[in-house]
Amino acid sequence: MSEKETEVLKAEVHNEPDTGGLVLAAEVLPATLPIIPLRPRPAFPNLLVPMVLNDPHEVEAVKRAMESPSHALGLVLAKHADLPDGPDNLNAVGVAGKIVKIIHMDDNSAQFLINTLERFTVEEVTQTGGVLYGRVSYQYEPELSVNSELKAYSMAVVSTLKELVQINPLYSEEIKLFLGRSSLDDPARLADFAANLTSADGKELQQVLECFDTRKRIDMVLILLKKELEVSRLQSKISKQIEEKVSQQQREFFLREQLKAIKKELGLEKEGKTAEIEKFEERLKELKLNDEAQRTVTDEIEKLRLLEPSSPEYHVTRNYLDWLTILPWGKFSKDSYNLEKARKILDRDHHGLSDVKDRIVEFIAVGKMKGDISGSIVCLVGPPGVGKTSVGKSIADALGRTFYRFSLGGMRDEAEIKGHRRTYIGAMPGKFIQAMKSAGTSNPVLMLDEIDKIGASFQGDPASALLEVLDPEQNSTFRDHYLDVPFDLSNVLFIATANQLDTIPAPLLDRMEIIRLSGYILEEKMEIARKYLIPKAIRNAGLKQGQVTIRKAALVALIDGWARESGVRTLENWIKKLMRKAAREFATGRTEPIVIGRDDLISFLGQPLFTTEEIFENVPGVVTGLAWTSMGGATLPIEATAMPSKGKGFKQTGQLGNVMVESSEIAYSYVMAHLKEYGVPEDFFDNHFVHLHVPAGATPKDGPSAGVTMATALISMMTGKPVRAKLGMTGELTLTGRVLPIGGVKEKTIAARRAGLKTLIFPEANRKDFTELPEYLKEGLEVHFAKEYTDVYKLAFERRKQQK
């Protein structure tokens, strides 16, 4: 129904003729009414309400009402809006109304105007043919003499309505309609009208409808009106704020546009696109691009001139030109080839590592003779915490080059290396081009951290993408997918870091010069802690020099009991913890200095994580081997035992890898083939089940270097002879008894010194590796080299006879 039709119809109702006091049959409200359930608000008496129904049962109720003389219909609020209509889903109080005009009605829908008259209480509800009927009792408004209290309430309601009209003019139309049919002097009607005017929820309005006491009802309505007034004020405030903000933005926009036009007329400012093009051209004056890149930049600038700033292609071209012109084409920093200065910088930043420092100084010396260090790719390999990253920084500092580091660990997308193609939204160059932009020169030192932890996925293989970058023959024309022009990376010094080489693809490893950082022994760690770690931890904890002192014995115990790994990162963390404990003491009022002795460590740090490595002596069947791990070197006791059995058998335990299992089987076969030679009955294995175990069963172990140790353990078990005291050995064994070379000589020597071993057996082929070790590592060790296993046997067993 249109608003115009409603207004005309309301006017017709207001102008109905007076019947002169006679009561017509049509004006008598029946005791039983067809009921229409309302949602979500109830109707109030003495109002003209337009209604639209789309339920066939409700339309049928309207038809039944129109057939009665009174045309009366009951309107009752449903208790639950989401439940179907029924006798149990109706509130107890509703409103009776008279249908005054049918606008439209068919079997499924109806549109009409109803004049609500009186409240009623539902006595009983029945349902016939889907239509609800209610037997009701009417609650007529009593004739009231308006006392001062009711008049005050009425005036309060009227005053609140006036305030609402001032805030929201829409309320004025409703008030005009009400005044046309009623008077403000009637408190009951005023309360119903005001309640209907609010936006309160159905439950609150139903409570007002069910209140038959006019005094209480008008009090409830006044509360609802006050709430409505507050909501309207808040709504008005929000609308005003939004309007002010929009107006301010529009004003600023117009002013900026006017200012831009004025500046353009006066020649004080150029158009955005022109300024961008001039910025790019200004950058190009300082760069030396190759021919292909120069042609591409020229073409892209010409394209930019033709594009409108509002075009999406404009922003793609602008970003592309921004990257092309911001890269350091032809910009180089001057290299420093001062070998003495380089050595001083390396000694300043790192204690020990003399072999590594010598390699780096030699590397710089070659660059001095050649005149450049182009095409160099160095890989620093070592356990965590030995200073690989800081060595890379020192190299950059020694050369006077810019240093930039990024991590390859966990990288799985080839686009991280070579960039995304410009056709993709949000495309960017790869890490190497981004690094060149950040470095600002064409010859920085780029550190590729964790190259051994690079991954691969369905998005590509980053390790394969690195092959072009790290190949001196190819990286002079490195072509990033985003730039799509060659960029020269041949002057970059690449320094990669890795904990181990096993996971690096062979073609990639072939391109790099390997420098090993094996780790630190106890004496080196003590010097590092004294010179670097302790002063740094004192500064970072906010302490002053002299407030905390760590005694030498305490430092030795700290390294041996809490920080036994090859690097010093864990040692640094424990020293930090000591300083935090000390800072807490001073923060709570302590003034005298703290001196940390050996016996104080447990109270500060708790129990040690490591105990002294137990070396079994004079125990047949137990031999100490030397192992290499990614964390450095370690001792590895190997145990063998035999049980009487009806048949031969061999078992290995200790979570051994495939290669180590094969080594144990080779040792078993070798010993079985030479039983007579070592004084063992030839039928020993026919009558015994042999068990070989490597302790620390929760730790996976693999590698071939325990072959000679396993064979020695088996012979010791069978002969009942223990090996000589404080002996450690390592070497790969073959079926013919040859002892093959192994890796990690330095790490294994450090582990042997830490465990207190005095005699070591290495393969003969590793003699050169041991000779290159620093003298302080070799001092106090009796080292033998074996070509054949018979050499190992003599050193392990026959020397023991001489010792006795």
Q: Which of 572, 542, 238 is nearest to 386 (CA)?
A: 572
Pairing of strands 688-693, 493-498: unpaired
Residue 624, H or E segment: strand 622-629
Contact 273, 317 (CB under 8 A): no
Pairing of strands 93-105, 110-128: antiparallel
Contact 352, 520 (CB under 8 A): yes
Q: Six-digit token pair at 533? A: 């770690």
- CA 324 to CA 332: how far, in whole Å? 17
Beta bridge partners of 110: 53, 105
- CA 548 to CA 86: how far, in whole Å? 84
Q: Six-digit token pair at 49? A: 């309400």
- Among 394, 442, 490, 705, the active-site one is 705
Residue 247 falls in the annotated catalytic set: no
| 329 contact partners, CB below 8 Å, separation of at least 6 | 287, 288, 289, 290, 293, 442, 487
Residue 705 falls in the annotated catalytic set: yes
User: Could you please report the per-residue DSSP string of 285-336?
Assistant: TT----HHHHHHHHHHHHHHHHS-TTSHHHHHHHHHHHHHHHS-TT--PPP-
- CA 470 to CA 475: how far, in whole Å? 7
Contact 113, 14 (CB under 8 A): no
How many C-beta atoms lie closer than 10 Å to residue 345's C-beta?
21
Contact 38, 76 (CB under 8 A): yes
Pairing of strands 48-53, 110-128: antiparallel
253, burial (CB in 10 Å: exposed 0-12, middle 13-18, buried 19+) = exposed
- CA 18 to CA 4: how far, in whole Å? 25
- CA 490 to CA 804: how far, in whole Å? 64
Q: Which of 726, 707, 720 is nearest to 619 (CA)?
A: 720
| 460 contact partners, CB below 8 Å, separation of at least 6 | 413, 414, 415
Catalytic residues: 705, 748
